[in-house]
Amino acid sequence: MSQHHDDFATEPLPGLPAKPPRGEEILWQGRPAILSLARDALGLNWVAGYFVVLALWRASVVSDGSIGMIIAIMLPYLAMGVVACGILLLIATVQARSTVYTITTARVALRVGAALTVTLNVPFKQIGSASLDLRRSGSGTIALQTLGDTRLSYLVCWPHVRPWRMGKTQPALRCIPDAARVAKILGDAAETRLNEPVLTRADAGMVLAAE
């Protein structure tokens, strides 16, 4: 994953609050795809469609049928739509650039937050299951169902969560490219780690660290 080192100058390693302990290796790092995040998390397509429909409806009601008048009526609504979509793309860009997802041989780490940066460490032994929502483009979201009584704030973690699961927030690697390959990396690493003898595994719980 390419990134500007200045974005994470205060971190021992990009995306992690501390250097991994001896024996733990980073298997994959990535961040959300901007356009996919804007579409899936911020509703870019719905917003664009709303302004197009609004412009067409307004033109059909007010215009006299002439091309010039139709364009004149539709143009302000389409311009507002472009501005709204531009704002959503800007938000998605900021969110994506401030995010680093990491899979190691022992855990999943999510460094998230544009204003308030937090790093969520989820050891494999605290993950009950993982689900993959794969899109035709190959991008997708991997949601983690955690074990135990730990409660995460949906609003603090958003948009890096499984949508609409507010009863028990499921942290998610949201809108990542090549999601099927990443899901296989995660599955293989978790299976290997959990099949190790108990005495060789760290029994660390889930940690939410504010930076």
Q: How confident is the model at residue 196 (pLDDT cuts 50, 70, 90)?
A: low
Mean pLDDT of 158-175: 90
**CB 186, CB 108: distance < 8 Å:** yes
Decide if pLDDT at 208 tops 50.
no
Percent of the chain predicted with pLDDT > 90: 56
What burial class does residue 63 get, using C-beta atoms within 10 Å of its C-beta: 0-12 exposed, 13-18 middle, 19+ buried?
A: middle
Structure tokens at 63: 């215009």
Which has the minimum average pLDDT: 14-23, 139-148, 199-208? 199-208
Looking at residue 113, what is its pLDDT? 83
- On average, the pLDDT of the chain sits at 85
Decide if pLDDT at 211 tops 60.
no
What burial class does residue 37 get, using C-beta atoms within 10 Å of its C-beta: 0-12 exposed, 13-18 middle, 19+ buried?
A: buried
In angstroms and rounded to an integer, the radius of gyration of the C-alpha atoms of the chain is: 21
Looking at residue 4, what is its pLDDT? 42
How crowded is residue 206: how many other Cβ atoms within 10 Å of its Cβ? 18
Which has the minimum average pLDDT: 10-14, 37-41, 135-139, 185-189? 10-14
Mean pLDDT of 124-141: 91
Which has the minimum average pLDDT: 145-154, 171-180, 184-193? 145-154
Mean pLDDT of 68-80: 92
Residues in the chain: 211
Which of 144, 131, 143 lies closest to 206, judged by CA? 144
Cα(162)–Cα(143) distance, integer angstroms: 6
pLDDT in tens, 11-63: 667 788 788 888 899 999 999 999 999 999 999 999 999 999 999 999 988 87
Looking at residue 149, what is its pLDDT? 76
Looking at residue 10, what is its pLDDT? 56
